[in-house]
Amino acid sequence: MSKFVDRPRYACALGGALATLRAIPRVIPIIHASTGCGHNLHNAINPGAGYLGGGYCGGLALPSSNVAERDVVFGGETRLKEQIASTLEIMDGDLYMVLTGCMVEMIGDDLDAVASEFEDSEKPVIAVHTPSFRGNSFTGYELVLESLIRRFIPKQPQKEPGTVNVLGIVPAQDVFWKGNLREIKRLLERLGLRVNTFFGEGETLDDIRNSGKASLNIVVSDVYGIEAAREFEDIHGIPYIVTGFPIGADAAGEFLLSVADALGIDGSQAEAVIESEKQVYYEYLERLADIYNDLDLQRYAVVVGDSNYAPAISRFLSDDLGWLPELVVITDFLDESQKNTVAGRFDNFESGVRPNVRFDTDASSVRRYMAEIWPRNRNERYYDSMSPAVVVGSVYERDLAERFGFPLLTVSFPVTNRVVLNRAYAGTSGALCLAEDLFGILAAGR
Amino acid sequence: MNYLDAKSAPAREDRLKTNIAFGGTCAQIRGCIRAGCFSGKGCLNLADRRFAETQGCQFTLSLAILNTLRNAVVIMHAPIGCGACSIGNVGVNKTFKQLRDPSAEGVVWLSTNLDEVDVINGGERKLREAVLYADREFRPETIIVANGCVPALIGDDIDSILADLETQTAAKIVPIHCEGFKTKVMATAYDAVYHGILKKLTKKPERQQYLAESDLDKIREQYRISRNVNVLNVSSMSRQDELELQRLLNAIGLNVTFIPCYAEPEDFEYSLESSLNVSICGTHDDYFVEHIRENYGVPFLIDTIPIGRKNTDRWILKIAGHFGLEKEAQRLIEVENRLLDESLKPFRKVLAGKRAFLAGGEVRIVATAEILQDLGMEIVGFKAHHFDRFIEPMFDSLDNVDDVVIDVATNQPFEQSNLLNRLKPDVLITHTGGNNIYAKHGLPILPLFGPSYNYMGYSGVFEVARRLNRVMRNCQFNKKLSRYTRLPFRKEWYEKDPFAYIKNQDAV
């Protein structure tokens, strides 16, 4: 049974769907909803995702039926039909996707019937049911992918060996999604693979159309994209593996080995790639040998984030930087089995550090957990405080960080205090960026 | 006017006959104003579009005010996405609140996260849990419950639930009924918010009664009230704007308090100890000030917005007139105008003859056009969010705009893009939102308002001139974007009439 949420760190299914479509070139969303839905969601996703902007046809340019009370009386279908037809006249796209909001779903508009009237249009029109009450942004991502997989991507009986799809990185909700996809792709290409990430640099709708040819789907998440991978398996017969989200050289190494294993690629080829990745990685990290040890830059850490970032960053802090992530708060809606899977990621850190892991969607809870996991100072003369520490979280953690006097690096949604373009935190080169940013804030006053 | 017995404020389509879809010239629209099309007759009331782009709803716009209130927690009684736009206010609103009170807390809100089960069973349980949590965890003075479309459609009896909860909470609970689907005139939000404030927060303050009070003390108190005006601020204005307006009214001997934005809940009580409510924009405040006059006898002034020289002069004179301070006001206006005029000379040299398009709120765009005319610039087009009777006094300050095109559209960048393509202005002055489209026209853009910039009063005129000059000096960023990125509208759209998709009431 779900509960209220103190400052949600996601939008709704419609928001997730819009953000996902925002990431595919020349796809035109048509919102069938109340007047405010698109506007509200843009004003959440734009600042929350490091100022993603409206792009080609997002933001206030989003076509929307803007159904109001008087339309409710007659049903919204007539209005939707008019809106789809006029959108096809005005907006220049290659695929039109109708997304619904709560209100039209509640009054029972027959979305699929209206959309099917446009079957013969020059460019495809696909309808997806995305009311807010169905779930959050992550749900929206799955719903859009499910529709594409079922209704847009043609079946390809002949698979291409060495072609893979990457799932599990949710545009905008992962603020660094595009950079991360580039890095994941780069790593996989080093194994000699052809990689389709759906939303990556230079990728188009055609890459999505051709994704049925892949011989493996790689889900870089314990939670997101798994539904989509199952759909791919059911409909297109493409098997999938779940690898978790890799940050750091060891994590990237394990990621590459599991992919190589699934595709029957010679392990030694993967080992060679990993070796050369590590060489570059440590060539850079070596620079920190001086300042890290000169100034004692080991830190305690509080990590607040989603199921991808929280475990991956904690492990990187613990095993690559030698820091002490003491508290980790994971902020998604998860069921028990998902919680167990994600919690399992914290079991075997090489450092032996075992963070306190909590699952909680409320922004105000983090401070309470701080009090729980670390004894308070009861006016002791000698008090072993959890300091110096760094908070890695979202912008919601700013008050917490200020209260304790800890520096904050915002990584997980919402990130309104940074502008993000092509930065990545995944993989090996992403981990170097993360190290740069973390030590950068420690050096900022110097 | 008295709507306070009703659960919620009426939609502006009904109350003001507001129009959101019209295309024509200023002369035509002024004719419509005179003929009563935007008031009694309301003949354009039901006009709409066959193609529409997303726009704000009264829920999101309500948050623009609610998120500024100090010592308050907002509960969004809705599915998880409604009000997610507050994410954009997390940082800035904390800063802006702290400009009024250095120890103010940031923006805190809870979503009742209504899901598929709640759509069937109702959202009462979650609403109760959220309110009690907010009261316990944050100890706010006020808990504001804003409801979205879903509870309105499932028929949650929010007012009764909240009345019951209020017996258990330390905080006052203010329901705001602002479901988006009720109206397409998003400015109905102001009425929705004021409706809640009027019902729950405005009452005569409980002052300590002294057993013995000297006549002097009484007179002093009466004098204070007789010289106090409430200026009704808007969330789109800045602290600098407030300070400028305060300076001007102080100069003629008046004291100023600002409500509703960035106020504390109890400020609404003290606001009744005032002699005049001054609206700076008819779009915002008529619902509030009319109810206050009716229930508490405080008179009000709604006329022009103090943006631009003539508008500021007029605004000060109207207020001064109420207090019999015209002479003081005239002296002030004379000095201010002389200083300002001198300061504008260098900008006039550069900006004279440049052609501008303005888009945004009806009152704001026409007022800002006055600044541009003052600088010798030419107005080539307007786009207004909506039109109603409050636009009437605004045109007085402009010269030669009869043939200027005007589009009434809440957002709708497709129409604006078409107009920009036809009119090819040298500069665009526009409301936030839609700049992913307008930037690609490759022209310099100045925001129509900004909560961290000064636009109002005499200093605002100088500031707008100065910034306009700056943005026009180098617009390489937008120019390059226009060269290397594409607009989403088909070329055929630019060959069509920009108002081709407006359907009039006959079509509805």
User: Could you tell me the residue ranges of all domains in chain B?
Assistant: 58-200, 215-327, 351-507
Is it the case that residue A350 has pLDDT exceeding 90? yes
Alpha carbon A359 to chain centroid distance? 18
Chain A residues touching residue B78 (CB < 8 angstroms): 132
CB contact under 8 A, A3 and B113: yes
Nearest residue on chain A to B490, alpha-carbon basis: A92
Span A56-84, average pLDDT: 90
Containing A289, the helix (H) or strand (E) segment is helix A288-294
Q: What share of chain B has pLDDT > 90, as a percent?
A: 86
| pLDDT tens, residue by residue, B241-287 | 999 999 999 999 999 999 999 999 999 999 999 999 999 988 899 99
Beta bridge partners of B172: B142
- DSSP characters over B299-356: -EE----S-SHHHHHHHHHHHHHHHT-HHHHHHHHHHHHHHHHHHHHHHHHHHTT-EE
Chain B residues touching residue A46 (CB < 8 angstroms): 88
Q: How far apart are CA A263 and CA A270, in angstroms?
A: 11
Is it the case that residue B506 has pLDDT exceeding 60? no
CB contact under 8 A, B111 and A4: yes
Confidence at residue B177, expressed as pLDDT on a 0 to 100 scale: 97
Q: How far apart are CA A416 and CA A92, in angstroms?
A: 31
**Any CB–CB contact under 8 A between A356 and chain B?**
no
Nearest residue on chain A to B112, alpha-carbon basis: A4
Nearest to A218 by CA among A257, A179, A275: A257
CATH homologous superfamily of A13-151: Nitrogenase molybdenum iron protein domain (3.40.50.1980)
Nearest residue on chain A to B125, alpha-carbon basis: A3
Span B343-351, average pLDDT: 97
CATH homologous superfamily of B351-507: Nitrogenase molybdenum iron protein domain (3.40.50.1980)
Q: Minimal Cα–Cα distance from B349 to chain A, Å?
A: 36
Whole-angstrom distance between the N-terminal and C-terminal Cα of chain B?
Answer: 30
Nearest to B382 by CA among B402, B357, B361: B357
Nearest residue on chain B to A74, alpha-carbon basis: B508
Is it the case that residue B508 has pLDDT exceeding 70? no
- A-proximal residues of B, 37-76, CB under 8 Å: 50-60, 75
CB B241 within 8 A of CB B457: yes
Chain B residues touching residue A14 (CB < 8 angstroms): 81
Nearest to A416 among B90, B113, B114 (CB): B90
Span B156-182, average pLDDT: 96
Is it the case that residue B507 has pLDDT exceeding 70? no
Confidence at residue A54, expressed as pLDDT on a 0 to 100 scale: 96
β-pairing verdict for B109-111 and B445-447: unpaired
Q: How far apart are CA A20 and CA A43, in angstroms?
A: 15
Nearest residue on chain A to B433, alpha-carbon basis: A60
CB contact under 8 A, B54 and A35: yes
CB contact under 8 A, B133 and A4: yes
Q: Minimal Cα–Cα distance from A414 to chain B, Å?
A: 7
Q: Burial-class residue A116 by CB neighbours within 10 Å (0-12, 13-18, 19+).
A: exposed
| pLDDT tens, residue by residue, B59-104 | 999 999 999 999 999 999 999 999 999 999 999 999 999 999 999 8
Chain A residues touching residue B414 (CB < 8 angstroms): 61, 90
- A-proximal residues of B, 441-480, CB under 8 Å: none
**Any CB–CB contact under 8 A between B180 and chain A?**
yes
**Any CB–CB contact under 8 A between B418 and chain A?**
no
ipTM of model over 0.90: yes
Nearest to B81 among A64, A93, A132 (CB): A132
When comparing pLDDT for B268 and B392, which is higher?
B268
Of A108-117, A367-376, A415-424, B388-397, the range with the lowest mean pLDDT is: B388-397
Q: What is the mean pLDDT of chain B?
A: 94
Nearest to B436 among A36, A61, A65 (CB): A61
Q: How far apart are CA B400 and CA B370, in angstroms?
A: 11
Q: Minimal Cα–Cα distance from B149 to chain A, Å?
A: 7
- DSSP characters over A371-382: HHHS----S-SS
Is it the case that residue A156 has pLDDT exceeding 70? yes
Nearest to B365 by CA among B312, B406, B313: B406
Q: Which residue has the tokens 């209260």?
A: A403
pLDDT-derived band at B380, boundaries 50, 70, 90? very high
CB contact under 8 A, B79 and A12: yes
- Give me the total of CB pairs closer than 8 Å, taking one residue from chain A and one from chain B: 254
Chain B residues touching residue A66 (CB < 8 angstroms): 52, 54-55, 184
A24: left (phi over 0), alpha (psi -120 to 50) or beta: beta
Span B164-184, average pLDDT: 96
pLDDT-derived band at B428, boundaries 50, 70, 90? very high
Topology (CATH) of B215-327: Rossmann fold (3.40.50)
CB contact under 8 A, A106 and B150: yes
CATH homologous superfamily of A282-443: Nitrogenase molybdenum iron protein domain (3.40.50.1980)
Is it the case that residue A254 has pLDDT exceeding 80? yes
- Going from the C-alpha of B165 to that of each of A192, A278, B66, B174, B320, the distances in angstroms are 63, 60, 20, 11, 45
Span A338-359, average pLDDT: 97
- B-proximal residues of A, 128-187, CB under 8 Å: 131-136
Chain B residues touching residue A398 (CB < 8 angstroms): 90-91, 106
Please give the CATH architecture assigned to the domain spanning A160-278.
3-Layer(aba) Sandwich (3.40)
Residue of B48, B53, B58 to mutate, testing the A interface (most A Cβ within 10 Å of its Cβ)? B53
Chain A residues touching residue B114 (CB < 8 angstroms): 133
Residue B278's SS3 state is strand
Nearest residue on chain A to B178, alpha-carbon basis: A36
**Any CB–CB contact under 8 A between B83 and chain A?**
yes
Beta bridge partners of A410: A393
CB contact under 8 A, B82 and A40: yes
Containing B144, the helix (H) or strand (E) segment is strand B142-147
CATH homologous superfamily of B58-200: Nitrogenase molybdenum iron protein domain (3.40.50.1980)
**Any CB–CB contact under 8 A between B85 and chain A?**
yes
Q: How far apart are CA B187 and CA B11, in angstroms?
A: 9
Chain A residues touching residue B91 (CB < 8 angstroms): 395, 398, 416-417
Q: How far apart are CA A397 and CA A363, in angstroms?
A: 8
User: Could you tell me the residue ranges of all domains in chain A?
Assistant: 13-151, 160-278, 282-443
CB contact under 8 A, B85 and A41: yes
Nearest residue on chain B to A79, alpha-carbon basis: B50
B215-327 and B351-507 agree in CATH topology: yes
* Dihedral angle of Cα A220, A225, A226, A230, to the nearest 10 degrees: -120
Nearest to B57 among A8, A34, A44 (CB): A34
Confidence at residue A225, expressed as pLDDT on a 0 to 100 scale: 97
Q: Minimal Cα–Cα distance from A208 to chain B, Å?
A: 21
A342: DSSP letter: H
pLDDT-derived band at A222, boundaries 50, 70, 90? very high
Is it the case that residue A65 has pLDDT exceeding 50? yes
Residue B207's SS3 state is coil
Is it the case that residue B42 has pLDDT exceeding 80? no
When comparing pLDDT for A384 and B506, which is higher?
A384
Tokens at A298, concatenated: 């080991």
Buried b (16+ CB within 10 A) or exposed e, B156-168: bebeebbeebbee
Nearest to A72 among B53, B81, B181 (CB): B181
Is it the case that residue A1 has pLDDT exceeding 80? no
CB contact under 8 A, A89 and B82: no
When comparing pLDDT for B91 and B443, which is higher?
B443
**Any CB–CB contact under 8 A between A289 and chain B?**
no
**Any CB–CB contact under 8 A between B268 and chain A?**
no
Is it the case that residue B505 has pLDDT exceeding 80? no
Report the range out of A439-443, B151-155, B234-238 with the highest average pLDDT: A439-443
Q: How far apart are CA A411 and CA A97, in angstroms?
A: 30
